[in-house]
Structure 1
């Protein structure tokens, strides 16, 4: 007498391809997110450029303005990443 065993590893039919060639790829970010991210990279680079140099290391530009510009660039980068694209 043969016993019928049920297995959790049953053979399943091959998964059907649910994407059609006409469906465009869905990206996480849209064009505006990329623009904001590129602008944020430029702002951070500008802040580091303002911070560079060897003369007068205690100038207001190097101590106050440049770090604020760098932090603003990083903040803009976070906004660019976290902003939801318009559906």
Structure 2
């Protein structure tokens, strides 16, 4: 008998997605914390966007990762 789950992704995929969302939120918070006018400082132009891109890469990996089979 085959185990059919109602979800497209497994538990591991959702855990990785949550991690990606947390990293993306940290990126947006870093950009908002910039004290320079119009966000032209290090946090707004460099660190925040890099952390945000890392969050998107984690999300991409979470979508493509194969869920583990429960045997």
So what's the TM-score if we normalise by structure 1?
0.65
Spell out, residue by residue over 1:3-59, the C-alpha distance to the aligned partner (whole angstroms, 9 max, x if none): xxxxxxxxxxxxxxxxxxx86432321111100000100111110000014621322
List alignment gaps of at least 5 residues for structure 1.
Answer: 1-21
Quick check: which one's helix share is greater? 2
Aligned partner of 1:44 among 24, 27, 33: 24
User: TM-score scaled by structure 2?
Assistant: 0.78
1:65 to 22, 25, 47: 47
* Residue-pair matches, total: 66
Q: Gaps (5+ residues) in structure 2?
A: none
Q: After the TM superposition, which parts of structure 1 deviate over 2 Å for at least 4 consecutive aligned residues?
A: 22-28
> What is aligned with 2:59?
77
Q: CA RMSD in A?
A: 1.9
Q: Distance in 1 between matches of 2:61 and 2:67?
A: 12
